[in-house]
Amino acid sequence: MSDDAAPRRLRADAARNLDALLDAAEVVFGRSGVDAPAKEITDLAGVGVGTLYRHFPQRSDLVKAVFEHEIDACADAGLALSAEHEPAEALTRWIDRLTELLATKRGLAAALHSGDPAFDALPGYVMSRLEPALGALLDAAAADRAIRSDVRPTELLYAVSLLSQPVRDTGAGFNRRMVALLVDGLRA
């Protein structure tokens, strides 16, 4: 979605509505989950439902758009961390960052596991961006003999996103601690 073939310019009001929708969706996803009624989002954005459907015909289009920036930034951070740290340290820090992202944007982890066919497209996007980043970090650390080499990036990604889901009575600290435990298990 970032580089569309035809860079059609958006009318000013259309762009404003788009932003309002994204902001509203982020809030509502965090508050009521990604299955929240469309009306809740459009009301908060001060926009008609029709406008939502015009911009995001599929529910997953909206979810994807909401988290796109964060996901891209997280993926890109892999390279920088590799340049600055030992492989094992880079890996740990990147997973911390990922956990941070998933635990903060609560709706995201949930959306990945909702099972709702409406979100079939989302995991694809997430994976296409994060999997190569994590793969490179894992390979480097494994080559360094710092961690075992039998864990695939895809499954680690899924595991971290599972462990980042909110749990009754529990805060982000719980998620962070459990992910750290998992990462400890990676070490030879």
Partner DNA sequence: GATGAATGAGAATTCATTCAT
Partner DNA sequence: AATGAATGAATTCTCATTCAT
Q: Which residues are near DNA by CB under 7 A?
A: 1, 10-14, 16-18, 35-39, 46-51, 53-55, 57, 59, 118
Task: Write the CB contacts of 127 (distance below 8 Å, at least 6 apart in sequence).
Answer: 154, 157
Three-state SS for 178? Answer: helix
Q: Tell me which of DNA, a copy of itself, none is bound by residue 145, counting a contact when its beta carbon lies within the kind-specific cut-off of 5 to 8 angstroms.
A: none
* Residues forming beta bridges with residue 187, ordered by sequence position: 147
Q: Tell me which of DNA, a copy of itself, none is bound by residue 96, counting a contact when its beta carbon lies within the kind-specific cut-off of 5 to 8 angstroms.
A: none
Q: Report the interface residues with a copy of itself, using CB under 8 A.
A: 33, 113, 115, 123, 151, 155, 158-159, 162-163, 165-168, 170, 174, 177-178, 180-186
Q: Which is nearer to DNA, 2 or 155 (CB)?
A: 2
Do residues 125 and 63 make contact, with C-beta atoms less than 8 angstroms apart? no
Q: Tell me which of a copy of itself, DNA, none is bound by residue 53, counting a contact when its beta carbon lies within the kind-specific cut-off of 5 to 8 angstroms.
A: DNA
Q: Which is nearer to DNA, 5 or 188 (CB)?
A: 5
Task: Write the CB contacts of 64 (distance below 8 Å, at least 6 apart in sequence).
Answer: 1, 121, 122, 125
**In angstroms, rounded to a whole number, what is the distance separating the alpha carbons of residues 164 and 105?**
10
Q: Which is nearer to a copy of itself, 20 or 180 (CB)?
A: 180
Q: Which is nearer to a copy of itself, 36 or 79 (CB)?
A: 36
**In angstroms, rounded to a whole number, what is the distance separating the alpha carbons of residues 132 and 136?**
6
Q: Which is nearer to DNA, 2 or 168 (CB)?
A: 2
Q: Tell me which of DNA, a copy of itself, none is bound by residue 185, counting a contact when its beta carbon lies within the kind-specific cut-off of 5 to 8 angstroms.
A: a copy of itself
CA angle 138, 119, 18 (to 5 degrees): 105
